[in-house]
Amino acid sequence: MTDRYCVFGHPVGHSRSPQIHAAFAEQSGEAITYTAIEAPLDDFAGAWRAFVAAGGCGANVTVPFKEDAFRLCDTLSARARRAGAVNTLILGDNGQTYGDTTDGVGLVRDLAQHGVNLAGARILVLGAGGAVRGVLEPLLTAQPASLLVANRTAEKAVSLAADFSDLGAIRGGGFEAVEGPFEVVINGTSASLAGDLPPLPDDLFAATATAYDMMYGAEPTVFLRWALERGARPIDGLGMLVEQAAEAFFQWRHKRPDTAPVLASLRASL
């Protein structure tokens, strides 16, 4: 019987995950099916149980269910426990649910694919929501010189930074407190989706800097256009999407896909 996987979201019709995992399966010779399931907002746990009862082996989880997934797990990876969120579910042989988060791994691997060196870098991360919480541990593990979390609500950024202060030089504050220059600036807000831009100073970027937006589209986001005008190298989040999916696939099938051709195909389809 073919093993079943899915991505849960609400909405989820826009998800590229079925396309990505179909490509991984074909590349690796793994016989799986992968679908998108729109779970009810008030019963994510029920949707997971129904999927398991129908033969499901594992799932990806996207907004707004990553914290719901965290709460239903019997066992959590250390990085999921630290992040307080889960984007990858694995059904164990004992029937228990194991939860992991692969977002941070996906981000760091994508940055590495672009030749971005995080060690010793001054990093600015914009936003203090779940997307940011999930990537702070791997960013700090890379041993940057400093990491500033900036958010419209300063208190939320300060609190988030305090949660990770044992891992390295991290602090939080409001957008108005941002003073450059930074070698790496990561936009973890959803402002790009609305064509909006956080209030940032023009002298944000170091002479050689990378601007990374976790969002992506057929055209550069407003944040990436703004960064390019100020001399930064722009990178969107499509590679992060593919790399976090590859880590989830590895967790499920114990085979690591070649992400480059999958990313190129996905880019061409935008």
Q: Binning pLDDT at 50, 70 and 90, where does residue 140 land? A: very high
Task: Tell me: pLDDT of 214 over 90.
Answer: yes
Q: What is the CATH number of the domain that holds 180?
A: 3.40.50.720
Do 179 and 136 share a domain, yes or no?
A: yes
The answer to the question of whether 13 is labelled as a binding residue is no
Alpha-carbon dihedral 230, 183, 140, 197, rounded to 10 degrees: -10
Per-residue model confidence as pLDDT tens digits over 149-198: 999 999 999 999 999 999 999 999 999 989 989 999 999 998 877 788 98
Task: Tell me: pLDDT of 1 over 90.
Answer: no
Average pLDDT over residues 120-139: 94
Task: Tell me: pLDDT of 38 over 80.
Answer: yes
The answer to the question of whether 216 is labelled as a binding residue is yes
Domain containing residue 24: 3-101+240-268
Q: Say if residue 11 is preceded by a cis peptide, omega within 30 of 0.
A: yes
What lies within 8 Å, CB to CB, of 258 at 6+ separation is 27
Q: Tell me, what's the pLDDT at 194?
A: 79
pTM of the model: 0.95
Do 21 and 140 share a domain, yes or no?
A: no
Contact 22, 34 (CB under 8 A): yes
Do 117 and 190 share a domain, yes or no?
A: yes
Do 117 and 205 share a domain, yes or no?
A: yes
Q: Tell me, what's the pLDDT at 233?
A: 98
Q: Tell me, what's the pLDDT at 45?
A: 97
Burial of residue 10 (CB within 10 Å: 0-12, 13-18, 19+) is middle
Do 37 and 151 share a domain, yes or no?
A: no
Tokens representing 77 are 């990876």
Q: What is the CATH number of the domain that holds 94?
A: 3.40.50.10860
- Cross-strand partners of 34: 5
Do 91 and 122 share a domain, yes or no?
A: no
Q: Tell me, what's the pLDDT at 159?
A: 97
Percent of the chain scored above 70 by pLDDT? 100
Q: Binning pLDDT at 50, 70 and 90, where does residue 22 land? A: very high
Q: Tell me, what's the pLDDT at 191?
A: 83
Q: How many domains does the chain have?
A: 2
Alpha-carbon dihedral 111, 112, 117, 122, rounded to 10 degrees: 20
**3-class DSSP state of 166:** helix
The answer to the question of whether 62 is labelled as a binding residue is yes
Do 123 and 179 share a domain, yes or no?
A: yes
Task: Tell me: pLDDT of 32 over 80.
Answer: yes
Do 229 and 251 share a domain, yes or no?
A: no
Do 76 and 158 share a domain, yes or no?
A: no
Residue 255 a catalytic site member: no
Average pLDDT over residues 145-151: 98
DSSP H or E segment with residue 167: none
The answer to the question of whether 17 is labelled as a binding residue is yes
Do 229 and 111 share a domain, yes or no?
A: yes
Do 143 and 156 share a domain, yes or no?
A: yes
The answer to the question of whether 156 is labelled as a binding residue is yes
Percent of the chain scored above 90 by pLDDT? 93
Do 152 and 219 share a domain, yes or no?
A: yes
Per-residue model confidence as pLDDT tens digits over 64-88: 999 999 999 999 999 999 999 999 9
Average pLDDT over residues 232-236: 98
The answer to the question of whether 129 is labelled as a binding residue is yes
The answer to the question of whether 244 is labelled as a binding residue is yes
Q: Binning pLDDT at 50, 70 and 90, where does residue 208 land? A: very high
Averaged pLDDT score across all residues of the chain: 96
Annotated active-site residue in 8, 57, 66, 137: 66
